[in-house]
Amino acid sequence: MDHRAAIIQYTARSGVLDLGWGHPLPELLPTEAWSAASRSALREHGWQALTYGAAAGPRPFIEWLAEHLDSYDHADTRPSEVFVTNGASHGLALATQLLTEPGDVVLVDSPTYHLALPTIADRRADIVAVPTDELGVHPGRTAELHERLVRGGRRVRMLYLVPTFGNPTGRSLPHQRRLELVELARRTGITIVEDDTYRELVYDGDAPPSLWSLAERGTVVRLGTVAKSVAPGLRLGWITAEAGFVRRLTGLGYVNSGGGVNHTTALTMAVFGASGAYRGHVASVRRRYAAQRDALLGGLRRAAPDLRFSTPAGGWFLWAELPAPLTAESLAPAAEGYGVAFVEGAHFFVDGADGRSFIRLAFSMLPPDVLATAADRLGQAIGSLRPAGDDI
């Protein structure tokens, strides 16, 4: 029996190189550095590290985070605008709870992070995909969609998207569209929920400014997390929003009952960050993930030249379009037979119809040599499905 299967979400399948999971490379998880930070936090804060915490989160973490975020995103985030969560998905659930009522319309990017959809659906919202093109959300056509919905008597309260190194596409929304989108939100009263999960995993140039940094307060609620930059098991994230929204979060019943969220981990993260260990760790993982990205890209260019994809400048994912008439559904069993797996693109669309020719490949969890082998196997699987004599 593999005892790890009882405590972690993912265990490897024998003979299959799985590109479907957006998980960190295990050796990049900072076990020793985090252990040292935990000991330091306990020495510094004593019993206060292990008791009930402040409703919005412990002050040392909030102050470090506000300063850290503004060191590269320049949003002038104030401590009163930060609320600590149990990760970005928890933040999405909280934002949806406060922003919507059952039956409201929630707009989403298309394609988008597939596991955000059931989180939003938990609120019994009506999820509607916005118009997009190869650059991402189209603000003008989204405005037209909003007008049609309002004329039809619908209440549109929220737009969810991952605009920076997005899951699943890896792309980032262009700057002009960011400006147009926040202006649309200001004009219509829609609140943008910006999932900023991948901001610090940038490999080429700089990450674009967040929607939060470009918008008037009250227009954007931003979700963040250390799941990708440090470790998902910490379950530590945050919301940045205007101070009144944060006060509403602190007034929620379960927050009052429990005395804040993830108090001890947040205090440890404050020590990890203030010590300089976090900055050094992020620099290291950027280099490693960039090498993994390049290994997968290079392997696919050699082994699967029929795939269409672009180079993601950050994040963990590659979004690839299959050569016609191949579909992800038909490729999946053949790929398994060759010992490689992926996520079918249909999962990332509200109705699934638009994603049949796409696959998402994660390069985060496997080292470069294994990723090159996975690319070879995927190329063989694609080749095995070509009609005889077809030189696609």
* pLDDT at site 4: 60
Could you tell me if 120 and 107 are in contact, meaning their C-beta atoms sit under 8 angstroms apart?
Answer: no
Q: What is the DSSP string of 54-95?
A: -TT--HHHHHHHHHHHHHHH-----GGGEEEESSHHHHHHHH
CB atoms within 10 A of CB 220: 26
Which two structure tokens, joined as six digits, stand for 208? 């674009």
Q: Is 261 exposed, middle or buried (0-12, 13-18, 19+ CB in 10 A)?
A: buried
* pLDDT at site 392: 46
* pLDDT at site 369: 98
Tens of pLDDT, residue by residue, the chain (392 residues): 455 667 888 788 899 999 999 999 999 999 999 999 999 999 999 999 999 999 999 999 999 999 999 998 988 999 999 999 999 999 999 999 999 999 999 999 999 999 999 999 999 999 999 999 999 999 999 999 999 999 999 999 999 999 999 999 999 999 999 999 999 999 999 999 999 999 999 999 999 999 999 999 999 999 999 999 999 999 999 999 999 999 999 999 988 888 899 999 999 999 999 999 999 999 999 999 999 999 999 999 999 999 999 999 999 999 999 999 999 999 999 999 999 999 999 999 998 778 999 999 999 999 999 999 999 999 999 999 976 556 54
* pLDDT at site 366: 98
* pLDDT at site 256: 83
Reported pTM: 0.95
Could you tell me if 349 and 355 are in contact, meaning their C-beta atoms sit under 8 angstroms apart?
Answer: yes
Domains and CATH numbers, the chain: 3-22+279-384 (3.90.1150.10), 31-275 (3.40.640.10)
Distance between CA 288 and CA 155 in Å, rounded?
A: 45
Could you tell me if 368 and 292 are in contact, meaning their C-beta atoms sit under 8 angstroms apart?
Answer: yes
Give the chain's length. Answer: 392
140, amino acid identity: G
What are the start-end ranges of the E strands in the chain? Answer: 17-18, 82-85, 105-108, 126-129, 132-133, 136-137, 156-161, 191-195, 220-225, 237-240, 317-321, 340-341, 343-344, 358-362
Which two structure tokens, joined as six digits, stand for 14? 């024998």
Eight-state DSSP code of residue 323:
P
* pLDDT at site 378: 98
* pLDDT at site 206: 95
